[in-house]
Structure 1
Amino acid sequence: MSQRALGQDSTCPPPKPGVLRLYSMRFCPFAHRTRLVLSHKNIPHEVVNINLQNKPQWFLDLNPLGQVPVLQIDDKIIADSTATSEWLDDVYPEKRLQPADPYRRALDRVLLEYISKMNTTYYGAIFSTEAEDIKEKMTEIEKHLKFYEDKLSAREEGPYFGGSQPTMFDFYFWPTYERYPVLSKLKKLPAANFDSHKFPKLASYGKAMLERPEVKALAFASDTHAVFFNGYITGEPDFDLCLEQ
């Protein structure tokens, strides 16, 4: 199936009975979470990419919120990055990602909720044009990174948040981590790079994740992310960036 993003003038590719389908966008950090889970578990599926600036009506009929990811199999439709990821983990229990310990799951839920705080500040900095505002947001982002550095330090077994092997939260956090260097590309901020002296645990986490096959298979270089983000800022995102004509 073509990776090109389908827009308003498209028709929905007919679903195949019993075939799992992911509605996605190649640069969406939230869809990235679900794609990592699918890749980690080697779950057979097909992908339909959506032009999120020019959404097809048939996609809005599936998910009126107009957001990705969305999973579909026969008459089952599941939206949201955490709902889709956890459904996949339950239905395909091999290489289980959610911690068995209820307390650990609760702690990871707190870590997940905190990502939204970091993302709000991060994207605010990306779209800001005021130097002082960007500086303030960078100070706040440093506090968020310190929060995750401390949490990783408390989990001594490392290098992942899940310990010696990644758990679900590692795949929730990674899309934010992968995109973080875009700040230094777009805003010319050396401080927006990961400092291995200041954040040694996060630096080790990044190196370990980048060696994982599911991460490698879906990764984009920070320069590519920067090109896509710049398109979003100017109102002309290229959803088909890096695809052959």
Structure 2
Amino acid sequence: MKLQYNINDDYIKFIASADALFHFTRKETALEHILFNKTLRMGEFSGTNDPQEYKPKLTDAVGWGWEEHHDKKVDEATLLIDQLLREKSKFISLCQNDIVDGNLRSHGALKSRMWAQYGDNHKGVCIVVSKSKLINQLKMQLESNYQVGYGDVRYEEPDLNRNIPCLDIDGSELDSLSASEIAISFVNQHVEELFFTKQPDYKDEMEFRYVAIPTSLESTSAPIYIDLLQCVHSIILGDAFPKVYKPTILNLAHELSIPIKKLHWEHHAYILLSWDKS
């Protein structure tokens, strides 16, 4: 599904580009939190709707040179790995355009199922941000306490033989490293497998994901709020966004100095309307 537009329309060119990312949310969340506070919240994987992410992780451990006293540290490390994966690490996922070999195959902002599932049945809001600016903002904001990873989510069938990769560690490492150091090192070694793979059922969401892994469990804070002023591009309202909220959202968009648009479904296609004026 595509929008027809003038080649000189800079707004449409941006939302059709590889730099555009789309965060669908309920109108209450957008109005009362995101736009009012001018922040995007990074969440925990334990709060997602995907059991591959929110369920406890069963980490096996193997190695050589273990002594009886190592067992307690191994147990502690595997528990910390689970905490890192589900609670201590923070993330945000946004939808992106489907672009192959420079050609736009589908608009991220025009996914009706995303509007239905995440955008309050088309009554919600889509926050449009710049991928490059968001990457820079996260690095600047988090690099002192977190390792920031980002990239496309891959959609693959899960490995039925094990839940997550196995912790492979020998006795000398158990003697020299703390349980938290072991856990953080393990997670950083397996970032792609642990954070950037999902089941194929989710492939139409076209996720671009940011993950913040703490460099020390003592320095973590929850939650993390991203400064929206540094990366926001515009606001798009759903087809059924209630008009009663128009003055409020126009005022919030004015405070952010960004354009506001509204999708309208007509004759089997979306039309993008301007809502900057009454």
Check whether TM > 0.5. no
TM-score (norm 1): 0.27
Structure with the greater alpha carbon radius of gyration: 2
Greater share of residues in helix: 1
Greater share of residues in strand: 2
TM-score (norm 2): 0.24
